[in-house]
Amino acid sequence: MKFTVAIDGPAAAGKGTISRAVAARFGFEHLDTGLLYRAVGMKGGDPVLSARSLVPADLARDDLRSLAAGQAASQVAALPEVRSALTAFQRDFARRDGGAVLDGRDIGTVICPDAEVKLFVTASAEIRARRRWLELGGEAAFETYDEVLAQVRERDDRDMNRSDAPLRPAVDAVMVDTSDMSIEDAVAFAVATVSARL
């Protein structure tokens, strides 16, 4: 069976948690597409060549979740040749047998416009920055909350305003605003949406 769940939205809106939970619930494979761009950003050198020569070990680096990797990813992700080098891998993953969940920025709009389910997960910039700051260690974190908020805004701005595959909801995406939702409620909503289409 081929069944694709596309989950898009800005940084730290809850896409990752929702995607992993949906994949586990239905036995689908999950691809965090942000990791591809993070790996290209952290590999250094010419980003287009890096994207064309990405290998599994590049995705296993332990610094891919850092703020620096997020910023580097957002910069290389604005290059059309980087995006096109990563397209076939994502599309193949999406149509694998047994079902797939992909989370990112352009899954429902560009990578899988025919996905069976499209969710656009969002939350206010302040709430997303607070979640990311707490993930980084809160008061013990190297960055202050204000620095994290500035980076979230900068990344939103770059991701939404680039000319190639900008971050925006597909016209047929189901919107999920997690600002005032518990993660359990957000997951339950996503699971119910997928169940209804299966």
* Binding positions for ligand DC, rule: CB under 6 A: 11, 33-34, 37-38, 70, 73-74, 77, 104-106, 155, 159
CB 3 within 8 A of CB 28: yes
CB of 159 to ligand DC, least distance (A): 5
Residue 77 Cα distances to 10, 27, 37, 69, 116, angstroms: 14, 29, 6, 12, 25
Side chain identity at residue 177, one-letter code: D
CB of 119 to ligand DC, least distance (A): 14
Comparing CB distances to ligand DC, the nearer of 26 and 166 is 166
CB of 140 to ligand DC, least distance (A): 22
CB of 33 to ligand DC, least distance (A): 4
Query: Do strands 4-8 and 100-104 pair parallel, antiparallel, or not at all (unpaired)?
Result: parallel
> What is the Cα gyration radius of the chain?
16
Comparing CB distances to ligand DC, the nearer of 1 and 23 is 23
Comparing CB distances to ligand DC, the nearer of 1 and 96 is 96
